Structure 1
């Protein structure tokens, strides 16, 4: 898997993942239904792609947000 995400993109995804997890687990805003699970899944995908540095969707559409790759 090649890196196709820049640092700003990765930090942004981690921030969004943290906010989604906080809303899902730390508050009662999303409840316990489908919105809760959707937020948890999206947060997990964002965190995983940010930590790995590669987004499969970016690979499909040919997008790269890093300068060195």
Structure 2
């Protein structure tokens, strides 16, 4: 699996994931919106840590530079 998410994109995903986790676990805890926010945060967290986004792959988007790929 090639990396298709660049370093700046990964940082943004991780920051956004932490914000969504906070919102889903504290202000909207126990609601459908809270569960949705936690799930969305989880997806962003995984794609940010792994460096691969399946949607980017389907759409042919690549934000990583050739020297960033593993």
Instruction: Give the TM-score normalised by the residue count of structure 2.
Output: 0.88
- Structure 1: gaps of 5 or more residues: none
Deviation digits for residues 9-49 of structure 1 (CA, Å, limit 9, x no counterpart): 00000000000111122x32x24211011001000000000
Alignment of 1:3-42 (within 5 A): 3-25=3-25, 27-28=26-27, 30-42=28-40
1:18 is paired with a residue of what secondary structure?
helix
Q: How many residues align?
A: 67
RMSD: 1.1
Cα distance in 2, alignment partners of residues 23 and 67 from structure 1? 32
Q: Answer yes or no: is 1:66 the counterpart of 2:70.
A: no
Where does structure 1 differ by over 2 angstroms across 4 or more consecutive aligned residues?
Answer: none
- Structure 2: gaps of 5 or more residues: none
Cα distance in 2, alignment partners of residues 33 and 58 from structure 1? 30
